[in-house]
Structure 1
């Protein structure tokens, strides 16, 4: 008998059949079964009408001329078509004449294209609102506003600094080294300079045992991020939790710390799953947009890392139609074949010398030290091999390869259909 499991892949799904006698467990977040009483729009409206730790946004907008709304970029499945119109409406209720700019928080990602902006916000917002895409390397648009607790300089987009009212939209999900996404991350890394992001994502912090999925308290990366949000005067956030269909199932609004923690608490209640160790773990990055490249797929691998046996096999399923997603990331693994040497070099790197993609490379190297990775994608085989992985054209082929490597055909298999939606304990 076979069990069929549906795996997100790009904007579609693939069905994988696993023999019942080999299937150890399917680890899924209870969140995807959660059925809210309210519609997506009603959820966000309710949050806006009942903010945590702040007045309503319309009250905060009174007398504030320059309003900046930080919005996520093309790499995040934030349902901005739902959130942004409601935020704009709420701000204009309090100040019809407000000068509003939507600032796209690209962090160190590539620029978001016009087509991606239209897909994200819809044609009406694109046609009628001012939108500025953050560039972490454009010094003419960056301002130094202080020093982070870690010692790094806090340099962020001057549109955020000059705002009379700074607010943000976003979504909360488990994050593989920041604990959770959303909240204060809108400022750092969202609209910070490359130098600031590099310092915050340093090797010592990434190596810290608190810099793990689902942990905020004591996480040194989060300490910097919250400080940055307060220093930038991020006054109000609207954050949502989404299910596997990218639909809003929970929303919070208000203070960038208090509201965010409420959203994290909701996730903790529904996303935690117990590990079921296996020799083979199949995992995805939740489909589009997070499986567009290999760089982002490291996130899903960390869920598998938490439940794969030492020396086992992770089968990562990520479309990766955009390729590797990070030049430094690719170059690091292509040029150094010894993962242990690579890790030693990362840990010896001072915070101020952190290079782009180093954190992702460091976490990826940690995964590779424990398990082999077979990669099912549309990325070129040579690129996958450069990154110390074994390419496969399908999950079925990957399982056969795994069996061959392990020298047994009955190895137990754990499947994580959405690796970025679970906190594996």
Structure 2
């Protein structure tokens, strides 16, 4: 199957139209909780304890599917005298499509004196074996990581629906891992312990750290871990990887977490950029909020999806199996194939609630994902109807980043 791309010019502003139409409507709202953001002086103070990076240091940065303000951090590292020598930058794409060259230079912060690499999980020439974890994950990573003398990472930390959080070790694995390694690790997403904002006793999260340590000792990795909302940097933790990540994940919980005392009847989730570009990424908004939606409720996913489906393995599974019941019967940990966890989660939600979609994807595609397409006007009418019925409605203004949970769970 070819990846579907929707050419929508200009890109429709679903977010603006919806928020304008709903105005100050009395809804439960999920959005990032912060009043202050860090200026450059604050960030320089935070990174001042880092040692200068040696010549040729491998610097791992995020790809175009993440909102990390990498260029700003790199600029400040140079200003602080931490990044002086030529370095090797590598974009940790994971299993995403490799970032095109011009875009890679633009988002990496690399200069002409530096070397810039873009990881490709499917390019065998880039990959080398590093061993096997105790859970059976065969660790194959980019040879630049395995041969590095010093590793430095820049990453954003946000809630993640099965890894617990983004950031941290994910720069190394799956960021610089093979597709096979990622698939073997991601089968653990089928385990109940793989949960949003949970890292203790999370088998997938623990397997990531073990896998990364086979490729390069994470105790020797230095880093800048940050919490950001778009271009706003809200928190920075610099130093060795594990403690910096632990500090940043606590901050991410404060910024993006929202605890409710009881379930809601409807969720309207407006997916934030860049997660709104593909259905593959937009699903994170569903997973991050579904736990507070009652059985028989309604989830509305608002995402332009101007770049189509994205990585299509999960979509093929939904399309081939045809019904949520068939998906749930057919997919398992034992017979896991790449993307099955996404298809399984999708079908699980579709079986217990109504799924609606507002965006650019055509109806036939939406039908294959067990959703019904509605316009912005239809959606506003529905919200007003639900309000008149006394329904509890959650409006997630930061879909894919917010993490909404039931207090006490």
Q: Which residue of 1 aligns with 2:239?
A: 254
CA distance, structure 1, for counterparts of residue 242 and residue 12 of structure 2 = 33
Residue of 19, 29, 32 corresponding to 1:29 = 32
Out of 144, 161, 168, the position equivalent to 1:159 is 144
Q: Which moved more, 1:174-183 or 1:111-120?
A: 111-120
Cα drift, residue 269 of structure 1: 3.0
TM-score using structure 2 length: 0.87
1:108 corresponds to: 95
- The equivalent of 1:53 in structure 2 is none
* Residue correspondence of structure 1 range 32-181 to structure 2 within 5 A: 33-36=34-37, 38-39=38-39, 41-50=40-49, 56-58=50-52, 61=53, 64-88=54-78, 98-121=85-108, 125=110, 127-181=112-166
User: Equivalent residue for 1:240?
Assistant: 226
Whole-angstrom distance in 2 between the partners of 1:322 and 1:255:
36
CA contact (8 A) 1:154 1:192 kept: yes
In structure 2, the residue corresponding to 1:397 is in which secondary structure? helix
Q: Secondary structure at the match of 2:341?
A: helix
The equivalent residue for 1:417 is 397
Paired residues of 2:158 and 2:256 also in contact (CA < 8 A) = no
Q: Retained in 2: the 8 A contact 1:9–1:318? A: no
Q: Could you tell me how far 1:333 is from its partner in structure 2? A: 1.2
When the two structures are aligned, how many residues end up with a matched partner? Answer: 389
Gaps of 5+ in 1: 1-7, 51-55
* Separation in structure 2 between the aligned mates of residue 402 and residue 199 of structure 1, nearest angstrom: 41
Residues 371 and 246 of structure 1: CA distance in aligned 2, closer, same or farther (over 3 Å): farther
2:349 is the counterpart of 1:367: yes
Correspondent of 2:269 among 274, 283, 294: 283
Tell me by how many angstroms 1:185 deviates. 0.4
Q: Distance in 1 between matches of 2:12 and 2:346?
A: 21
Give the drift of 1:199.
Answer: 0.3
For residue 60 of structure 2, give the secondary structure of its aligned residue in structure 1: strand
- Whether 1:326 aligns to 2:329 is no
Change in Cα spacing, 1:81 to 1:34, as seen in structure 2 (3 Å) is: same
Q: How does 1:178-193 map to 2 (within 5 A)?
A: 178-193=163-178
Residue 135 (structure 1) shift: 0.7
Provide the rounded CA distance (Å) in 2 between the counterparts of 1:348 and 1:249.
38
RMSD over aligned Cα, in angstroms?
2.6
1:313 equivalent to 2:307? Answer: no
> Aligned in 2, Cα 1:228/1:201: closer, same or farther, shift over 3 Å?
same
Q: Deviations over 1:270-302 (max 9, x none)?
A: 43312352222101222x211101111111012
- Specify the SS of the correspondent of 2:16: strand
2:20 is aligned with 1:13? no
Distance in 1, matches of 2:349 and 2:240, equals 35
- The separation in 2 between residues aligned to 1:137 and 1:178, in whole angstroms, is 22
**Could you tell me how far apart the structure 2 residues matched to 1:230 and 1:270 are?**
29
TM-score (norm 1): 0.84
Question: What's 1:342 paired with?
Answer: 327
Is the 8 Å Cα contact of residues 283 and 417 (structure 1) preserved in structure 2? yes
Whole-Å separation in 2 of the counterparts to 1:10 and 1:135:
32
Unmatched segments (≥5 aa) in structure 2:
1-10
| Deviation of 1:163 (Å) | 0.9
SS in 2 for 1:213: coil
- CA 273–146 in structure 1, closer or farther in 2 if over 3 Å, else same: same
